[in-house]
Each structure stands twice: as C-alpha cells, then as structure tokens.
Amino acid sequence: MCGNNMSTPLPAIVPAARKATAAVIFLHGLGDTGHGWAEAFAGIRSSHIKYICPHAPVRPVTLNMNMAMPSWFDIIGLSPDSQEDESGIKQAAENIKALIDQEVKNGIPSNRIILGGFSQGPIGGANRDISILQCHGDCDPLVPLMFGSLTVEKLKTLVNPANVTFKTYEGMMHSSCQQEMMDVKQFIDKLLPPID
C-alpha cells in the first residue's frame, strides 16, 4: 500500500479486462488481507473497472489482547462509547488517500473511484452527495445488527439521507454472501457505468 509503511505488501488487484475507466478500492476487515476480497470481486467484476484490495499493516490490537494482526487501526473496544484510535484512523485515511491519488495519476477521475470495505474497513467521506450502500447480516455475532442500524442513522446525518441504502441479509453472520455481492455489483455498476 502507499504511504511510509514499507512492511505492508502491495494491494491485491483485479485489473480491468479492458481500459480502466473506474476503480473500486475495498478495505478488508480485522485480521484479513485483500486477497479474499480481490477473489470475490473477480467473480462479479465489470470489464472497465479496476478493483484494488489493499492489505492493512500488521499491528497489535488492544481488543485481541494486543495480538499483532492486519488492522487498519487499533480497536480498543466494541461498545459505542469505546475509545477510538484517532491517530491510527488518520494514518489509514492518509494511506487510502495516497491510493486514490495514485489512481487519479493513472488517469481515473476521482468521481469514478468508489471506496468500500468490510467490518473494520469501511471509511467515510466529507461529500454530502456521495451514495452509500451499507450491508449487514442479521445474525452477525461480532458486530450486532443494532450497531449497523446506529451507523446508518449516523451516516444519514452526514450525507443526503436519500443516498444511503441499508440492506440486511437473513441468516448472514460476520461474513459475506452471494446476494450481498450481487447487490454490491449492482451498486457499483449503477455508479460507475462504462463511458467508452
């Protein structure tokens, strides 16, 4: 990934099948890597879109007894009032901005880049007009559905509420499912149609 952390490997990339006119940057969850998500996007890809799945740096995570694992930032606790790793979140945002800047240098306009992620991976933006798709399993034991509902309500105060879509998946735990991936594909294809 971009930035000053030389120990972080290069992102897993699913190249566009033809000239890339858009990009999706997708962040994995805690303890994961970008490889599995790259494989998932390879299964639903559109030929004009480049999919970039960076790998988080390995760092100690307070929540997991300081065990070192891939993590975008430290997680101190899971309750809504838990302290947050502000400096880690800012560093992760800088690294993602560097990826965006690189894609812009590669010729992809910033309005043709989608940011997304799983669990720890989702990130926010300052543009009130952005579209957001938030997906959540109704049986998630790690991040309860209530947290997803609280997040979507907060998002609606930060961006145009009409641009926020919240989908739940019956029986899905802290994972992904085929229907969710098809909904993600539909969302991406709507926002990033072919332009040539």
Which of 174, 175, 176, 183 is flagged as catalytic?
A: 174
Question: Cα(24)–Cα(36) distance, rounded to whole angstroms?
Answer: 15
Residue 196 tokens read as 């040539």
DSSP class of residue 188 equals: H
**How many Cα atoms occupy the beta-carbon half-sphere of 38 within 13 Å?**
16
Residue 118 tokens read as 């799983």
Q: Does 119 participate in catalysis according to the annotation?
A: yes
Beta partners for residue 169, in sequence order = 137
Q: Does 174 participate in catalysis according to the annotation?
A: yes
Contacts of 16 (CB under 8 A, 6+ apart): 47, 48, 49, 50
DSSP class of residue 84 equals: B
Which of 35, 46, 119, 176 is flagged as catalytic?
A: 119
Q: Which residues are catalytic?
A: 119, 140, 174
